Structure 1
Amino acid sequence: MPKFNVNYIRNGIKNRSFKILKQIENLVGYELVRVEKYPYTKYKNIKLNNNLSLSQNHKNINPLKLHFGCGPRVLKNWINIDLAFEPFENYLQHYQHHFNEEVRGTIADFYAIDIITQGLALPDNCVDYIFHEDFFEHLNQRDQFVFLAETFRVMKKGAVQRINTPNISASMRDHSDFKKGKTGVYTQEWNQWHHYNVVSPTILKEMANLVGFSEIIFNNKNESIIKAHLPLEYRPNFEDRPASDSNVFADLIK
């Protein structure tokens, strides 16, 4: 009988639900087995950093740099923030040039924080740099304003937030045929990639100005005004997004 891994933690399946599934496994022809949240033994019992850790540890970090939506790309000398730790061993070949040993952090550099619901346990005006790529579009419009406001609060005067996010104008231009009406609209930007609110340079500029950022500088991949402090930008993969303006690259200055 083939085995089928059911991650009952990620999908919120309770123990009793799992027992019910076991009872019907013969009907579907699969054997259902549990999968631990952290399949790598060395991470299983490690307590992740959280907002409390952040409030204590940030005082010892200079310059203070926040990396949001890090996924498995945990960067050395950064506070890497995401909802849950994702072991990065299997991603090393995938990232290659963008995630070599020189820039690679450890689980000690990761913080499990939901900035939208929890905020950041940081004082005002303490952060030097913020970096995120292919993250902003996974927030809905409301949460994008919450994110920009909370990050603005903790940034020092003159600090820079580097944003790398898909460009809705380029996406619609390159993939839609609006003359066809409903059927001509390219909806994969939301349906396939789980994007919630995709911005254009104009939209991002208006949002940032409303929040209070003093200047928004648009440039290209790996051309941030704080290039010396940033890792090489992984997104976009130009094989997937060949247009030169497929992503919005922007430096938001407080």
Structure 2
Amino acid sequence: MKRAIKKGTQKLFLKLGYDVHFYATRDVFKLSNAETDKINAITKKIDKIHYGSFHTLFDGWINTDWNLKTKLDTEPYVIALDLTKKHPFRDDTFNYAYSEDFIEHLEQADQIIFLSEVFRTLKPNGVFRMSYPGFEELLKNHFHKIEYENLMFEKSRTYDLYGHRHHFTKEELKLLCKHIGFSVVEFVSFGTSNHNIFKNIDTRIEQANQNTFVELKK
């Protein structure tokens, strides 16, 4: 019954243009020994991971999110994970990683943990492409009118409604990623990349002028 209510709520809000996330309790994310063995086997043949995938599941990738059911027998492979905890992958596992409109849902301290785990599990010279609503565009597009009523309205619309916690500026993200150890921090644009795997991978064209797009090389 609860699952039916959740699905019905998600469908209703998707029709209105909103993504609604239901966050699972912590015990859901505990992997069995059998699941861990399957993950180790899968990562020997798949070197790409998609963080915060939600409805967008890629074949040939490992897809992860809070509110999905782990599925490791057939593609698209899915792992239900709390990405603010240690990721269940060995060091130097992936050549490519991707996330779209995910990291802004994390508190700042959890963003540090997440990006550190991404770095740990990337292979040397591996690349992580990420997009998120940039703080610069957020200010320009939503908080340009400095009046209390407008600020409260935009806070509700841009933070509370979507569960957004922290938006990076480019300089802040670069500072953090360099501190973690990424060798290259390159800001790009929607659908463009120097890596074929990432060309035209972005799905939310409506966010093209609001999001920051970045590729991080280990």
TM-score normalised by L of structure 2: 0.75
Alpha-carbon shift at residue 115 of structure 1 (Å): 2.5
Residue 66 of structure 1 corresponds to 49
What residue number does 1:206 align with?
Answer: 175
Moved more, 120-129 or 162-171: 120-129
CA separation of 1:77/1:8 partners in 2, compared to 1, >3 Å: closer, same or farther? closer
C-alpha distance in 1 between matches for 2:40 and 2:59:
19
User: CA RMSD of the aligned region, Å?
Assistant: 2.7
Q: Contact 1:138–1:196 at 8 Å: present in 2 too?
A: yes
Contact 1:128 1:159 in 2 (8 A): yes
Q: How does 1:231-246 map to 2 (within 5 A)?
A: 232-235=201-204, 237-238=205-206, 241=207, 244=209, 246=210
Give aligned-pair identity as a percent: 25
2:165 & 2:43 partners in 1: Cα distance? 31
CA drift at 1:81? 0.8
Say if 2:63 and 2:78, in contact at 8 Å, map to a contact too: yes
CA shift in 2, pair 1:176/1:111, >3 Å: same
Alignment partner of 2:43: what SS? helix
Given that 2:192 and 2:200 are in contact with CA atoms closer than 8 Å, whether structure 1 keeps it comes out as no
Closer/same/farther in 2, CA of residues 52 and 141 from structure 1, 3 Å limit = farther
Q: Is residue 5 of structure 2 the alignment partner of residue 54 of structure 1?
A: no
C-alpha separation between the residues in 1 aligned to 2:125 and 2:60?
A: 20
Task: Kindly provide the amino acid, as one letter, of the partner of residue 172 in structure 1.
Answer: L
Q: What per-residue deviation string (whole Å, max 9, x for no partner) do you get for residues 1-31 of structure 1?
A: xxxx654996xxxxxxxxxxxxxxxxxxxxx
Counterpart for residue 84 of structure 1: 67
The count of residues paired between Structure 1 and Structure 2 equals: 186
CA gap 1:56/1:198 in 2 versus in 1, 3 angstroms: same
Distance, in Å, in 2 between the alignment partners of 1:183 and 1:167 is 23
Gaps of 5+ in 1: 11-46, 87-105
* Larger CA Rg, structure 1 vs 2: 1
Structure 1 Cα separation of the partners of residues 123 and 62 of structure 2? 16
Give the superposition deviation at 1:121: 2.3
Per the TM alignment, residue 124 of structure 1 is displaced from its structure 2 partner at its CA by 1.3
